[in-house]
Amino acid sequence: MTGTELTVNGDRVVVSSDPDTPLLSVLRDELGLLGTRFGCGMGLCGACFVRLDGQVVASCDTPLSQAAGAELVTVEGLSDHGRPHPVQQAILDRQAAQCGFCISGIVVRAAALLDETPAPDEATVAAALDRNLCRCGVQRRIIEAVAGIGREPR
Q: Say yes or no to pLDDT of 74 above 80.
A: yes
| Helix residue ranges, H only, the chain | 23-25, 64-67, 86-93, 103-116, 122-128, 139-149
Contact 96, 113 (CB under 8 A): no
Options 3.90.320.10, 1.10.150.120, 3.30.110.30, 3.40.50.150; CATH of 86-149: 1.10.150.120
Instruction: Examine the pLDDT at 105 and tell me if it is beyond 60.
Output: yes
pLDDT, tens digit (0-9, with 9 covering 90-100), for 117-150: 999 999 999 999 999 988 888 899 999 999 999 6
- pLDDT above 70 (res 152): no
Distances (CA, A) of 58 to 43, 77, 113, 122: 5, 16, 16, 23
For the chain, what is the mean pLDDT?
93
What CATH number does domain 4-77 carry, 3.10.20.30, 3.30.470.10, 3.40.50.300, 2.60.40.420?
3.10.20.30
Q: How far apart are the first and last CA of the chain?
A: 46
Is a pLDDT exceeding 60 seen at residue 85? yes
Beta-carbon contacts of 109 under 8 Å, excluding residues fewer than 6 positions away, are 46, 49, 56, 128, 129, 131, 132
Strand bridging mode 4-8 / 11-15? antiparallel
* Domains of the chain, residue spans: 4-77, 86-149
Entry pTM: 0.92
